[in-house]
Every structure is written in structure tokens, then in C-alpha cells.
């Protein structure tokens, strides 16, 4: 495993939920000399690295001594991944099995989560106002498949009802209200009666690994989109070390997988508030925003060798050949020609190959935070991402060199004054 892949694996392992991803980003930024900008406090003056966090969203930037005199360069990603979120009243079960009530979060590939050892991570909110992180990093849950003897046609088509068939098992006996939260509270050394609410997610416990004849592939959970978060945090730290002629900014939004229409999502006001400060205030931001650019970084559909009929043959994304520039005529991706030129300039400067992804005309593509930010801010936005196979599954696959290529190009984008 390369050093870059090893570092990404470490980041993925430390980040089983958006809140843990933010905590790991903060740890790395703090080690690089960044200091916290309290959201409810006065603006921290002077040059240097800053970060601001709220829930599962983090913003970080290198701040010049004088605001408003440099163009903004934004690297945007998202911290959440598809999976299963625990319901408010989680203790359910039947036929002697104790289970946990969950609902689907985002567009998860449900079948990929079956018969996997699952942990549980997220946060507990207490009556006294504290929020406590929680992580059960051992096999705790499992969503069992039905034996083939009871469904002999399953290999000709699997149908899953999310209410009935996706409830994980976690014990034997009769379910008892409060059992799961008591179990978690005790692990956190908290009084179970003081837990008022929770945000908890299942996650796959299988650690990241390289595979293939030459270890050229990387299999891991949450590549969508923590591979981009990792690259963005790393690129920001490297860009800040150069004291660039730009204002480099990183943002990792929560809730992209469910539409971004939240206070901490890309459609919320948090990024706009920070960028307005960095531009020198509302009256000066029009000119600053006109010189600014945003890179929306989310993973890209790698060409699937068993399903090439799902791809445009002239715009395939291939692993280990560089990040893909994502283009869509109806603006599901925000890329336009001047933005594409800026991205290709960054790749050329970094000596990083780049490719272009366009979805097949008969297979509509997804979308990203890019069009949302472009609409809200009016800043030219470019969509890019590394090719990933089995996107939205419990475990995904990318080229082992792709994350480092994205990081290198990201540094040049954040530093580009043109």
C-alpha cells in the first residue's frame, strides 16, 4: 500500500460517521497549526489557518492578513455516506431475536449490506445539552439473508422491503425499550436516563485493504465521499503551507446523500456566511465572488467491466488514470468550459492525468453539491471526482493511486491565482 493510500485508509477507519469524519479532519488541521473559529464568537483576526465545525459539517481555510484582496478557491466535498440510520425508538424484534429498528439513509445498495458484521457510530444528545460521540467498533449488528432453501428464485431476482427485511439482529430474547441506548450510554460512561436523543449509523467493520495482482486496487467503505474529504483536507494543508496568493477553502458538507436541504447541507447558509467574511463583508463580496472558483469533488462512476452497456463508450472513467471532469448538459454537474479549462490547468501544473466523464444518454446521472453551491453563491463551479466501482455499496473499489492524484491536482487548484 502506498503512503497516500495508507493515509486514506487511516482516515476512513477513523470516520465511521459524519461526526467522526469532522473530528478526524479537526485533528489533522490542528496538528498543522489551524485554530478554531467559533461560530458564535468574534471573527479571529490575522493571517493563518482556521476551521469552523457544526455537527457533521466542517469548513477550513487559510486566511490572509487583509480580507477581500485575494480570489477564493473552494474545494467542496461531503462527509456523509449511504447506509442505515437508527430510528428514535430502536428496540424491536420477533421470534426470539432482538433487533434494531433502522431506516435507509441515502441511496444505499441494500443487498451489499446483508450478512456483514456491522458496528454502530454517531452521537448521543443529553438533557444537559452535551453531545457525546459514540462508536461500537466490534461486530454488533448483522442483517441476515434468507436461506436459499426458503427462496429458491433469489438468484433470479432479489426483492427487499426496507421495513421488513433490513432490520439488523443484535441479540436473543424479547426486545425491551431502552436497551440499545442503555448499552451505548454505559459504554460512554453516561447515565442512560440522561440520553434525550441520538444520531446513530451502522457501518461496515471490514477494514480498508489493497487487492489485485499488483495491489493496484483499494477496497474500502465510505469512499463515497470520504476519499474526497481526505484529499480536500490534505490539499488545504499543503496549499496553506505555500502562503498562496489565493484564499484556499475546504468544506465538507453533511446530508448530501439526502438532498443537502438542511442547515448544515450545501443548500444551507454556512458556507456563504464564511465566504462573505473572507471576501471582506457583504458590500465587497460581489467583486470577490466574481473572481472565485469552486471545485465540487465527489466520486465518479468507474466503468464497470461487467456492465459496459451502462456507460458512454467515449467518456469512460478508468481507475488510476486521474480524476474525472464531470460534465452534464442539463447541469446535474456544474462544469462549464472556462471551469474545465481551470481544472485542466491545475492538472497540467500538477502533472496529473485527467479524464472526462459524461453519462450515457439513456442512463441519467446523479448530482452533487456543485449545482447547489453554484446556484446559491453564483461562483463558477467545476465537478470532478475519482472513479469508484460499486458506488453506494457497503464496500467500494478505486485505483490505489487515484486519491493521491486528486490531492495533487487539488493543491494546484487551491493555489491557482488565474
**For 3-44, how does the pLDDT look when each residue is reduced to its tens digit (9 = 90+)?**
899 999 999 999 999 999 999 999 999 999 999 999 999 999
pLDDT over threshold 80, residue 290: yes
* Per-residue pLDDT at 65: 87
Dihedral of alpha carbons 237, 52, 368, 70, sign: negative
pLDDT for 242: 81
Q: Is the pLDDT of residue 338 over 80?
A: yes
Mean pLDDT of 329-355: 97
**Does pLDDT of 201 surpass 90?**
yes
Is pLDDT at 67 greater than 90 in this prediction?
no
Q: Is the pLDDT of residue 168 over 80?
A: yes
Give percent above pLDDT 70 in the chain: 100
Closest CA to 169 of 83, 87, 89, 96: 96
Tell whether the model's pLDDT for residue 244 goes beyond 80.
no
Residue 100 CA, chain-centre distance (Å), reads: 25
Residue 228 has pLDDT above 90, yes or no: yes
User: Does residue 202 register a pLDDT over 90?
Assistant: yes
96-127 pLDDT, tens digit per residue, is 999 999 999 999 999 999 999 999 999 999 99
Confidence at 66, pLDDT banded by 50, 70, 90: confident
CA dihedral 316, 318, 321, 325 (to 10 degrees): 40
- 403 falls in which pLDDT band (50, 70, 90)? very high
* Pairwise CA distance, residues 45 & 36, whole Å: 12
Is there a contact between 299 and 227 (Cβ–Cβ < 8 Å)? yes
Q: Please, what is the average pLDDT of the chain?
A: 96
What is the model's pLDDT at position 274? Answer: 96
Task: State the maximum Cα–Cα separation within the chain, in Å, rounded to a whole number.
Answer: 70
User: At residue 241, does pLDDT exceed 90?
Assistant: no
Q: Does residue 243 surpass a pLDDT of 90?
A: no
C-alpha cell at 362: 439513456
Percent of the chain predicted with pLDDT > 90: 94
Q: What is the pLDDT of residue 22?
A: 98
Q: Which residues contact 193 (CB under 8 A, 6 or more apart)?
A: none
Q: What is the model's pLDDT at position 130?
A: 97
Least Cα distance to 418 among 70, 22, 21, 6 occurs for 70
Does the structure show a pLDDT above 80 at 1?
A: no
Q: What's the pLDDT at 69?
A: 81
Query: Tell me, what's the pLDDT at 125?
Result: 98
- Quote the crossing angle between the two packed helices 282-290 and 270-278, to the nearest 10°: 90
Q: Residue range 159-169: average pLDDT?
A: 96
Amino acid at each position: 500500500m502506498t503512503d497516500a493510500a495508507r493515509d486514506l485508509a487511516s482516515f476512513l477507519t477513523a470516520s465511521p460517521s459524519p461526526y467522526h469524519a469532522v473530528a478526524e479532519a479537526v485533528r489533522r488541521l490542528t496538528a498543522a497549526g489551524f485554530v478554531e473559529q467559533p461560530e458564535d464568537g468574534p471573527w479571529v483576526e490575522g493571517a493563518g489557518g482556521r476551521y469552523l465545525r457544526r455537527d457533521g459539517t466542517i469548513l477550513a481555510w487559510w486566511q490572509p492578513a487583509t480580507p477581500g484582496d485575494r480570489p477564493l478557491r473552494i474545494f467542496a466535498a461531503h462527509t456523509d455516506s449511504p447506509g442505515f440510520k437508527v430510528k428514535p425508538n430502536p428496540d424491536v424484534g420477533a421470534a426470539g431475536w432482538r433487533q434494531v429498528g433502522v431506516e435507509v439513509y441515502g441511496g444505499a445498495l441494500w443487498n451489499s449490506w446483508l450478512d456483514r458484521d456491522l458496528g454502530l457510530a454517531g452521537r448521543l444528545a443529553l438533557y444537559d445539552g452535551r453531545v457525546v460521540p459514540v462508536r461500537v467498533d466490534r461486530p454488533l449488528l448483522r442483517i441476515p439473508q434468507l436461506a436459499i432453501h426458503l427462496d429458491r428464485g433469489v438468484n433470479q431476482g432479489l426483492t427487499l422491503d426496507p421495513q421488513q427485511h433490513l432490520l439488523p439482529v443484535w441479540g436473543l430474547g424479547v426486545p425491551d425499550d431502552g436497551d440499545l441506548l442503555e448499552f451505548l450510554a454505559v459504554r460512554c460512561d453516561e447515565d442512560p436516563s440522561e440520553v434525550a436523543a441520538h444520531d446513530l449509523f451502522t457501518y461496515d467493520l471490514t477494514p480498508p485493504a489493497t487487492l489485485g495482482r499488483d495491489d493496484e486496487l483499494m477496497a474500502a467503505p465510505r469512499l463515497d465521499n470520504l476519499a474526497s474529504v481526505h484529499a480536500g483536507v490534505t490539499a488545504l494543508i499543503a496549499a496553506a503551507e505555500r502562503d498562496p496568493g489565493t484564499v484556499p477553502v475546504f468544506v465538507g458538507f453533511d446530508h448530501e446523500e439526502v438532498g443537502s436541504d438542511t442547515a448544515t447541507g450545501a443548500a444551507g447558509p454556512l458556507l456563504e456566511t464564511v465566504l462573505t467574511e473572507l471576501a471582506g463583508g457583504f458590500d465587497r463580496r460581489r467583486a470577490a465572488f466574481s473572481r472565485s472558483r469552486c471545485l465540487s469533488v465527489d466520486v465518479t462512476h468507474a466503468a464497470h467491466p461487467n456492465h459496459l452497456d451502462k456507460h458512454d463508450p467515449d467518456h469512460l472513467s478508468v481507475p488510476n488514470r486521474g480524476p474525472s471532469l464531470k460534465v452534464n448538459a442539463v447541469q446535474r454537474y456544474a462544469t462549464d468550459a472556462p471551469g474545465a479549462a481551470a481544472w485542466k490547468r491545475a492538472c497540467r501544473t500538477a502533472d496529473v492525468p485527467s479524464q472526462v466523464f459524461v453519462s450515457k444518454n439513456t442512463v441519467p446521472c446523479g448530482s452533487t453539491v456543485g449545482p447547489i453551491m453554484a446556484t446559491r453563491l453564483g461562483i463558477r463551479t467545476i465537478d470532478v471526482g475519482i472513479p469508484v466501482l460499486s458506488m453506494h455499496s457497503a464496500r467500494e473499489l478505486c485505483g490505489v493511486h487515484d486519491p493521491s492524484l486528486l490531492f495533487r491536482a487539488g493543491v494546484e487548484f487551491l493555489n491557482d491565482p488565474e
